[in-house]
Amino acid sequence: MAGQRHRAKKSLGQNFLVDANLQRKIVRALGAGPRDEVLEIGPGRGALTGHLAGRVHRLVLVEIDDELAPALASRFADDPSVQVVHGDVLDTDLPRLLPRWDEALVVGNIPYNITTPILFHLLRRPRPREIVLMVQREVADRMVAGAGERAYGALAVGVQSVADVALLFPVPRTAFRPVPGVDSAVVRIRPHRPPRLEPEEERRLRILTRSAFQWRRKQLQKILRRHPALNIPEVAVDRLGEELHLDLARRPETFSPDLLLELVRRLPDDALGD
């Protein structure tokens, strides 16, 4: 197996999935077929890669590790459908790497320390068809949480406003080597097709959400009136509550992504600037 003798690097979030049943289960969840182009993020020693190579039209692996990337390249040297990119996925122009990006599938057991940046990198426009990721259990819970739940916040709104997201199954820490300090879960993210929001609405929703959950213990109306990033005139806030028959004295965590979007759509154009 590629890089078998290599030592796991904590700085790169290396916890290798050694349970073969779970490896297969994750790849099955992706449901990639012979016509699909697949991106795998952080293939490491090839735990998922081995179940994908040869079964899809094209498999692109992006791995940052200086030992593991060359090891993967030599392991798959005879398979022209596999391409190894040695680099940081966050610096990689993914739609350029996979020209049919909007049809592509993405899979990865990704490093815990950069889960959110990777998620937002993948959810920039244009978006791939489907993403199956192994993430920390707590992050999975935050992605799928509904309004009013403890885990609900900016991450849930950010993901759910552009995609359908589901927690598929939990993965115990004992399935990895070295054994990490937390449990994991596999999530599936299907970006809305076509996107439901205009790019400008997405941008404005991000600003509102970030500000609202920064002050999550305050009433939404106070945040709308006072948060320095928002710039909303008092009268516009009063009008909003009346127009939507909404009690804006509630805390932000009780507002669903749809409701927050409704607020964004009704706020004056010059509010929610950069």
| Binding span for ligand SAM by CB under 6 A among 75-83, 107-115, 146-154, 217-225 | 107-115
Q: Please tell me whether residue 27 binds ligand SAM under the rule CB under 6 A.
A: no
Q: Please tell me whether residue 162 binds ligand SAM under the rule CB under 6 A.
A: no
Q: Which residue in the shown chain puts its C-beta closest to ligand SAM? A: 42
Q: Please tell me whether residue 171 binds ligand SAM under the rule CB under 6 A.
A: no
Q: Please tell me whether residue 88 binds ligand SAM under the rule CB under 6 A.
A: yes
In the bound complex, what is the minimum distance in angstroms from residue 190's beta carbon to ligand SAM? Answer: 21
Give strand pairing partners of 194.
Answer: none
Buried b (16+ CB within 10 A) or exposed e, 93-108: ebbebbeebeebbbbb
Q: Chain centroid to CA 93: how far?
A: 16
Q: Tell which one of 20, 90, 182, 244 touches ligand SAM (CB under 6 A).
A: 90
Q: How many residues bind ligand SAM (CB under 6 A)?
A: 24
Q: Please tell me whether residue 160 binds ligand SAM under the rule CB under 6 A.
A: no
Q: Tell which one of 56, 64, 187, 232 touches ligand SAM (CB under 6 A).
A: 64
Contacts of 115 (CB under 8 A, 6+ apart): 133, 135, 136, 139
Q: Please tell me whether residue 257 binds ligand SAM under the rule CB under 6 A.
A: no
Q: CB–CB of 62/114 below 8 Å?
A: no
Give strand pairing partners of 131.
Answer: 106, 189
CA 266 – CA 240 distance, rounded (Å): 7
The three-state secondary structure class of 273 is coil
Please give the helix or strand (H or E) that residue 26 lies within, else none.
Answer: helix 20-30
In the bound complex, what is the minimum distance in angstroms from residue 184's beta carbon to ligand SAM? Answer: 9
Q: Please tell me whether residue 76 binds ligand SAM under the rule CB under 6 A.
A: no
In the bound complex, what is the minimum distance in angstroms from residue 89's beta carbon to ligand SAM? Answer: 4
| Binding span for ligand SAM by CB under 6 A among 57-65, 214-222, 239-247, 253-261 | 57-65
Q: Which is nearer to ligand SAM, 62 or 261 (CB)?
A: 62
Q: Judge residue 212's burial from the number of C-beta atoms within 10 Å of its C-beta, 0-12 exposed, 13-18 middle, 19 or more buried.
A: buried
Q: Which is nearer to ligand SAM, 173 or 206 (CB)?
A: 173
In the bound complex, what is the minimum distance in angstroms from residue 209's beta carbon to ligand SAM? Answer: 25
DSSP string for 113-141: GGHHHHHHHHTSSS--SEEEEEEEHHHHH
Which residues would be at the binding site for ligand SAM (CB under 6 A)?
12-17, 41-45, 47-48, 62-65, 68, 88-90, 109, 111, 114
